[in-house]
Amino acid sequence: TADSGGLLDVVVVGGGQAGLAAGFYLRRAGLGFEILDAQEVPGGAWPHMWESLRLFSPAQHSSLPGRPMPRVEGYPGKRHVARYLASYEERYDLPVRRPVRVEAVRAEPDALRVETDRGMWRARCVVSATGTWWQPYLPHHPGRAAFRGRQLHAARYRHPEPFGGLRVVVVGGGNSAAQIVADLAGHADTTWVTRRPPRFLPDDVDGRALFEVATRRRQALLSGEVDTGGVGGLGDIVVVPPVRAARDRGLLAARPLFSRLTAEGVAWDDGTRLACDAIIWCTGFRPALRHLTPLGLREGDGTIAVNGTQSVAEPRLFLLGYGDWTGPGSATLIGAGRDARGTVAAITRLLSSTRSADP
Ligand code: FAD
């Protein structure tokens, strides 16, 4: 533990669903580990998301390994997920230390050194499971600094009330944008803008169907078959009930993306202008990997080269839950367990090979 100089088998950075799923399998493998999480409370990113958020799958298709998510009518909300994650930690007595923010992971010959705001840990392996919520992405857009209204990323949006009676532009063609546009209905005068026309998935495609598509793609890739293209080919937006209701009321028509911001609003190349009070950027997230900077592993696209979930250049480091590049469907509740299981199996092999090599 902190500053004790003791060497753990594994430190997991991040105590959201991906870190907890790793903890489940680490416990089962009998390894010595701790989970370091920056938040005051359990639940990873979920408590921070907007109030109306609903999962895109029913509870029975949103479970981590071992303990099923308690069922609810319809699609669970974010509090249900956060409560589930809290009870999951308790049920498996997972050693989560919080709030502990990992600032840097450094390579030493016989260990990885984990530097935090609460002391130092050392471990034979590190699993990084810090998610993407903490690294919201804002694209560069001409005039962004000129706009005098309010600008926020979807990660800072909580509920529609502060936007009551305002003219709001929502930017982005994904699930966050569609859900926030639906959430603002009846409160704000909303304009939705997207780079390309929004692509809604068929109404009967929910998170479970997406996971099956991702799984088929993984199997095709593993067996050397043609890439099935994964879920991207199907569309972008899951038609959860509030999105369906807004779409059916004709509230989800999008305009093309503007070309620049002005002091008063946004403007298109054809001379059209739109005045607005607020712009909500639903423009995605990037992996939160700053703590790994000292290892010097980032590729040009911001990811880290991996074989499965194991870093190619630093094999004592594993990356869990960041998205398709760390495993198809890995950034979902239902998908986190599969990659966690494979990761712990790889860690077990690595530790037993290094132990048997010890003099
Ligand atoms: P997180 O939940 O972000 O947890 C990471 C943890 O690591 C956090 O507690 C964070 O504080 C901590 N951390 C970060 N950096 C550090 C550090 N340096 N040191 C220590 N701790 C650190 N998935 C589904 O399956 N179904 C859905 O319906 C669904 N809806 C989604 C809706 C939205 C709007 C978003 C953004 C995502 C959704 N997802 C959904 C995807 C995914 O399940 C979530 O993003 C989930 O939060 C990812 O879990 P995680 O454990 O990887 O990361």
Q: How far apart are CA 259 and CA 280, in angstroms?
A: 16
CA of 17 to the centre of ligand 1 (A): 7
CA of 18 to the centre of ligand 1 (A): 8
Q: How far apart are CA 247 and CA 228, in angstroms?
A: 29
Indicate the top mutation candidate among 20, 46, 158, 332 to test ligand 1's pocket, ranked by most ligand atoms within 8 A of CB.
Answer: 332
Which atom of ligand 1 is nearest to 320's Cα?
52
Q: How far apart are CA 34 and CA 9, in angstroms?
A: 9
Q: Dihedral sign, CA of 161, 164, 168, 173?
A: positive
The amino acid sitting at 161 is: E
Specify the residue with its C-alpha closest to ligand 1, atom 18. Answer: 102
Q: How far apart are CA 173 and CA 237, in angstroms?
A: 8
CA of 50 to the centre of ligand 1 (A): 13
Which ranges of 223-291 does DSSP label H, i.e. alpha helix?
A: 241-248
CA of 113 to the centre of ligand 1 (A): 24
- Measured in degrees and rounded to the nearest 5, phi and psi for residue 74 equal 75, -145
Q: How far apart are CA 173 and CA 255, in angstroms?
A: 11
Is-contact 120 57, C-beta < 8 A?
A: no
CA of 266 to the centre of ligand 1 (A): 32
> What are the beta bridge partners of residue 102?
116
Q: What is the ipTM of this complex?
A: 0.99
| Nearest to 324, CA basis, from 313, 311, 314, 339 | 339
CA of 267 to the centre of ligand 1 (A): 34
Is the link from the previous residue into 99 a cis peptide, with omega within 30 of 0?
yes
Please state, in angstroms and as integers, the Cα–Cα distance from residue 176 to each residue in 26, 172, 277, following that order. Answer: 33, 8, 20
Indicate the top mutation candidate among 133, 176, 239, 330 to test ligand 1's pocket, ranked by most ligand atoms within 8 A of CB.
Answer: 133
Which atom of ligand 1 is nearest to 176's Cα?
34
Please state, in angstroms and as integers, the Cα–Cα distance from residue 34 to each residue in 85, 109, 127, 132, following that order. Answer: 17, 21, 10, 21
Which atom of ligand 1 is nearest to 288's Cα?
15
Indicate the top mutation candidate among 50, 320, 333, 339 to test ligand 1's pocket, ranked by most ligand atoms within 8 A of CB.
Answer: 333
Structure tokens at 255: 């305009």
**Protein residues with CB under 6 Å of any ligand 1 atom:** 13-19, 36-39, 44-46, 49, 55-57, 62, 101-102, 129-131, 133-134, 176, 207, 288, 291, 321, 331-334
Q: How far apart are CA 143 and CA 123, in angstroms?
A: 47
Which atom of ligand 1 is nearest to 75's Cα?
28
Return the axis-axis angle of helices 333-357 and 207-222, rounded to nearest 10°: 40
Q: How far apart are CA 146 and CA 137, in angstroms?
A: 19
H or E segment and range at residue 102: strand 102-108
Which atom of ligand 1 is nearest to 103's Cα?
18
The residue whose two tokens read 């705001």 is 117
pLDDT at position 3 = 46
Q: How far apart are CA 222 and CA 236, in angstroms?
A: 25
Indicate the top mutation candidate among 98, 106, 134 to test ligand 1's pocket, ranked by most ligand atoms within 8 A of CB.
Answer: 134
The residue whose two tokens read 């050194």 is 113
pLDDT at position 1 = 45
> What are the beta bridge partners of residue 311?
306
- Measured in degrees and rounded to the nearest 5, phi and psi for residue 319 equal -120, 125
Structure tokens at 58: 């029913």
> What are the beta bridge partners of residue 112?
107, 123
The amino acid sitting at 74 is: G
Please state, in angstroms and as integers, the Cα–Cα distance from residue 191 to each residue in 186, 195, 196, 197, 315, following that order. Answer: 13, 14, 15, 14, 47
pLDDT at position 238 = 87
Indicate the top mutation candidate among 37, 49, 121, 239 to test ligand 1's pocket, ranked by most ligand atoms within 8 A of CB.
Answer: 37
Q: How far apart are CA 55 and CA 198, in angstroms?
A: 20
Q: How far apart are CA 96 and CA 108, in angstroms?
A: 24
Specify the residue with its C-alpha closest to ligand 1, atom 12. Answer: 14
DSSP 298-325: B-TTS-B-EETTEESS-TTEEE-SSSGG
Cα 307–Cα 311–Cα 314 angle in degrees, nearest 5: 140
| Per-block mean pLDDT, blocks of 10 residues, the chain (359 long) | 72 98 98 98 97 90 95 92 98 98 97 98 98 95 95 97 98 94 96 94 76 72 62 71 92 96 98 98 96 96 95 98 91 94 98 77
